[in-house]
Amino acid sequence: MNNLIHARTCVYNVGYHIVFTVKYRQKVLTGKVATRLKEVLHQVAQDKEFIIETMELMPDHVHIFVSTKPTVAPTDIVRTIKSISAIKLFDKHPKLKKFYARCGSLWSKGYFIDTVGNANIETIKEYIVNQDFQ
């Protein structure tokens, strides 16, 4: 119960495990692209007032554990993260933009999302951290 957040009108603990993939599962999330993506995701989280509890980038997909206010829809989190990160990565990495110009987007349309409760937060964090097989 130590993860509870006390707001003016409610007490909450809302967390999501989100996974989304690069279009065509290309292994582009490495090196400077991966470093920039992490920076962008942390900046988006700060700007939109949600908390990235844990994040791990694989070459072709992203695992992220996000906590947020109960008024924020999970689809809004995913849409915001994917759209802003694609724009920022394309600005910083023109080769990436050139490759994905023919399909129009960096990220695949779909995503996985799971709610995370108190009982399994540490399990989810450990799972995400252990995704780095490189």
**Residues tagged active-site:** 127
Backbone torsion region of residue 73, taken as left when φ is above 0, otherwise alpha when ψ lies between -120 and 50, otherwise beta: beta
What value, to the nearest 5°, has the Cα angle with vertex 130 and ends 117 and 34?
100
